[in-house]
A and B are shown apart, each in its own frame.
Chain A
Amino acid sequence: MSDLLVQLFAEILELPEEDFSDDTAPENTPKWDSLASMSLVSGMEDRFDVEFSTMEIMKMRNLGITRKILTQKGVSFEAE
């Protein structure tokens, strides 16, 4: 599974893309701490040109939910 979102997560968390699935979450990914979470939010806002509400950020408990929130905002992740 690889798309622009996974690429971004892999880049920021410095992990191989194949390590990611929709279940990837802070609980099973030690590098996803609160500082990384802040970088992920900035990174997604920069790359996909969106802005999250604080509640949305709170809800992003794993990669799957995060993808869903972005999709709702009309973002598509197809790798070019």
Chain B
Amino acid sequence: MALVANADKRAVSEAKSAWRAHQKAVKSGEVKTNYSIGLAGSFTVESLEPFIGSTILASGFKPTIKIAAYNQLFQVCLNHTNHFSGKLDCIIIIWRIEELLANEFKDFISGKPEALQKAKDTLAEFSAAISSLRESFKGFLIVSTPPYPQDTTTFVNWNNSSTGAAFFFKTLSLKWAELLAAKEQVYILDLDLLQRISGMDSIFDARKWYLYKQPYKDLFLLQLGLAISRLFNARYMVPKKCLVMDCDNTLWGGIVGEDGLEGIQLGQGFPGSVFQDIQQMALNWREQGISLALLSKNNEGDVKQVFLNHDGMILKWQHISAWQINWQPKHENIKEIAKDLNIGVDSLVFLDDNPYEIAQMQEYCPKVTSIQVPEDPAFYPAMLAGITCFDKLETTTEDLKRASMMQAEQDREQVRNSMSSQTFLESLDLRVTFFTPQQQHIERVAQLINKTNQFNLTTVRRNSEEVQAIFADTSYRIYCIQIDDRFGEYGLTGVAIIKLDIAKKVSHLDTFLLSCRVLGRGVEGAFISAIAKDMDSLGITSMKGSFIATKKNSPAKSFLPDHGFTLQKSTNWLATIADIPPTPEYITIKALLG
């Protein structure tokens, strides 16, 4: 226990000194900040600053944190520029019943049931204030849930029917959840859940509460900082796309090649039930758009037999999007899996029980995130549940489809291998739908802008709010394509943003990208040709473009010269609209322009 306590203490003081060093470097001009956070709380939140700051620093940002005056949440929501000066990228609002609804809470627990309605009214007003902030502030907005109240003076009546403090808390929490659920782009920091995880007995510091109106111990503030940084990572880091799993002692207990189908541990009773829980978690991820793959040193037939014939299996063979089951080194096989799924190895998470395999992977394929199964199976599910690299704030319908689309990609690959490329393309029966996006597409458009690396001419990143602004700006046109072929549909997989100068009859291709799922089919030709047609109808006669090379976008390198553009200077290209070639013959294009 002492060891753990010491580690906690060290983590706390390391966080503080990291933040102090950062602030010093900022002050001296050594470090330039690139991300600005406004923090507002119903209690004294200054103590939280080093813990938010240091964890976000560790995620690669160079943050600066501005703090609003104590318990002025309404004022902050209604006029945030008054409370946070200068450029602001994120606002975090943390509140508790004890302060925001102090009087209502006191009245209620001292026997005035009408205070509950009053509290609900205040909460509705607060919710309206948050909505108004959401409108006036374009950045990342994080709002807490109310945590279970700290004061336990009426403990005996705590949960007593409809008059106890617990009833007050539960009613208002539910109300708050309903109010937040109706808002878009307001992200939730579940302060109540964090209190439960750490345990209320261990998080409060009564001295600091009475002296400074700051209720929490440093260690809990560190947990709070980590939870906020998890939201940051989910928003700004590129999420992993595929879970690559070993089989023996990873998906089931025992070794199928030795113990046989009957001998492996999978089903009710320990440890078989653990592996069922693990499979269920993998399946849940698949439903969120994460692909599943198998990477096992085994006979393929043995493994397949388990998937097909063992009635304890939660995962079925059709859930597996790619597999390498043979005796080759895993760090070589995993590259084949990446190739099969048409994604980078840095999108893969590798799960294995064998420390040797983990070490090999880390040595030879460090871009893969490698995770070791814990020795005691009982701790395995909790370990896996703690993985943050699949975190993502919005699950779009595209993500839901991705897993099964990736499997269709494999079927296409098989056909491709058996034919010449021209006949292959002709056999695909490609249909491209060209359209200007509606509001419901904007989230997906922003998602593509932020994660497309390969076929991306300029790799300009924009967050949802910025895309929204362009969407509303009439001097821009956003175009999208959606693609179908005989194997299935790929969904919204291409985005172009064009800046128009109608007076000069010229347009500028600001963004042009295609998801890697649809590369190698010539759909980019169909896309640019449809854009050219629309430009022509607007009276535009030429189009400027640029190609900004990155480590990953070589697939887009020859796009401009292949489609009628000629090089002007450094990265700048120019095409006469009439010179842009027409849609390839094997593609059917349908334009739906709003």
Contact = CB atoms under 8 A, between A and B. Distances in A.
A44 B593 CA distance: 66
A34 B47 contact: no
B46 A57 contact: no
B216 to A, nearest CB: 11
Interface stretch (A21-29, A46-54, A65-73): A46-54
A61 B208 CA distance: 16
B214 interface: yes
A39 B207 CA distance: 13
A1 interface: no
B193 to A, nearest CB: 25
B409 interface: no
Interface string B1-44: 00000000100110010001000000000000000000000001
A38 B47 contact: yes
A17 to B, nearest CB: 15
B210 A46 contact: no
Given A38-B214, A42-B218, A57 B47 contact: no
B26 to A, nearest CB: 13
B211 A58 contact: yes
B47 A42 contact: yes
Contact of B207 (A11, A35, A43, A57): A57
Interface in A1-39: 11, 34-35, 37-39
A46 to B, nearest CB: 5
* Chain B residues touching A, majority SS: helix
Nearest to B24: A14
B13 A38 contact: no
B72 to A, nearest CB: 16
Interface string B239-279: 00000000000000000000000000000000000000000
A8 to B, nearest CB: 11
Nearest to A35: B46
Contacts of A34: 211-212
A39 B221 CA distance: 13
B44 A35 contact: yes
Nearest to A58: B211
B20 A54 contact: no
B12 A38 contact: no
A38 to B, nearest CB: 5
Nearest to A51: B207
Nearest to B27: A14
A38 B212 contact: yes
A46 B12 contact: yes
Contacts of A39: 47
A52 B12 CA distance: 18
Nearest to A39: B47
B95 to A, nearest CB: 19
A46 B13 contact: yes
A13 B269 CA distance: 58
Interface in B187-242: 206-208, 210-212, 214, 218
Contacts of A53: 207
Contacts of B208: 38, 41
A9 to B, nearest CB: 13
A64 to B, nearest CB: 20
Q: Give the residue among B207, B208, B210, B211 with the most A Cβ atoms within 10 A.
A: B207
A43 B16 CA distance: 9
A5 B212 CA distance: 22
B265 to A, nearest CB: 46
B468 to A, nearest CB: 37
Contact of A54 (B13, B46, B47, B210): B210
Interface of B: 9, 12-13, 16, 20, 44, 46-47, 206-208, 210-212, 214, 218
28 contacts: A11-B20, A34-B211, A34-B212, A35-B44, A35-B46, A35-B47, A35-B212, A37-B212, A38-B44, A38-B47, A38-B208, A38-B214, A41-B208, A42-B16, A42-B47, A42-B218, A43-B16, A46-B9, A46-B12, A46-B13, A46-B16, A46-B218, A52-B207, A54-B206, A54-B207, A54-B210, A54-B211, A58-B211
Interface of A: 11, 34-35, 37-39, 41-43, 46-47, 52-54, 57-58
Given A54-B210, A54-B211, A57-B211, 15 more contacts: A11-B20, A35-B46, A35-B47, A35-B212, A38-B46, A38-B212, A39-B47, A41-B208, A43-B16, A46-B12, A46-B218, A47-B13, A52-B207, A57-B207, A58-B211
